Amino acid sequence: MVDITTPNFLELLHIISGERHVYYTEMHHAQAIHQHQSHLDRFVGTPRPNVVVQLGGSDPKIMATATRLLEDYGYSEVNINVGCPSANVQHGNFGAVLMKTPDIIADILEEMNKMVSIPVTVKCRIGVDDLDSFDFFHGFVETLMQCDRPPPHLIVHARKCILKGLSPKQNRSIPPLNYQRVYELAKLYPNLPITINGGFTTTEDIRSALDQVDGCMIGRIVMDSPLFLQHIDHGKVYNNRKDDH
């Protein structure tokens, strides 16, 4: 989350819960990685096996070279974020607007995978604007799965986003959640690890989701109450899986 999962906040989460969970950085534009390459630990966060760097961008070459810089610096995983609906992100032609052109995302993924050996995953929504049918969602994922190296992990915010008329904050609450659509996708791709995101605020909800998919990403509840991680740890809700934040 931009301005939330900063390097300092990631350090706090590690103090609270160590490496029991997977932590996601803010989304950084690929160009910014080039600009800050001499001090990425201060700009992005300390490289750790359980820290995933979220990248945004639409130029395959720039995305690929940024990923190479991250790998060389010691980061162990990169995530292409195509779920952010902010106006600034749209203006830069990256984030959720790219879901309308899955071939471009596939090109980015292919180019990145040519340059690095670390995993490159994808975080998306179930739809965008009027492209919100299951057929669209399935076709979007299938395009990525046809890559030479498909994403080894898919993280899905289980609500569509509306690019015009709603703020990023409203896009986290107004479009209705549709967990079932993510669960249906998981049945079609049993060998693709899928993490669900959106609206999870109790350990009971997380435990229920983990009966259907491989992971559960939680954001707002940890932002508001970082010690919620200890409730998860004490409840052992992850059943040998790792929760993502």
Whether the predicted pLDDT of 241 surpasses 50:
no
Q: What is the pLDDT of residues 182-201, one digit of tens each?
A: 999 999 999 999 999 999 99
Dig out the tokens for 193 from the structure. Answer: 């690890």
The amino acid present at 79, given as its one-letter code, is N
> Hey, which CATH number is domain 7-235, 3.20.20.70, 1.10.150.20, 3.10.180.10, 3.30.70.100?
3.20.20.70
Dig out the tokens for 4 from the structure. Answer: 């939330």
Please report, for the chain, the start and end positions of each structural domain, with discontinuous segments joined by +.
7-235
Active site residues: 84
Phi-psi region of 157 (alpha: psi -120 to 50; beta: other; left: phi over 0): beta
> If you average pLDDT over each of 2-6, 100-104, 173-177, 237-241, which comes out highest?
100-104
Residue 161 φ/ψ, nearest 5 degrees:
-120, 150
pLDDT for position 89:
74
Looking only at the bridges linking them, the beta strands covering 194-197 and 120-125 are unpaired
Angle of the 134-145 helix axis to the 102-115 helix axis, nearest 10: 30
Please give the C-alpha separations between residue 239 and each of 3, 34, 51, 186, in angstroms, as whole numbers.
Answer: 31, 38, 20, 18
Kindly report the number of other CB atoms within 10 A of residue 83's CB atom.
27
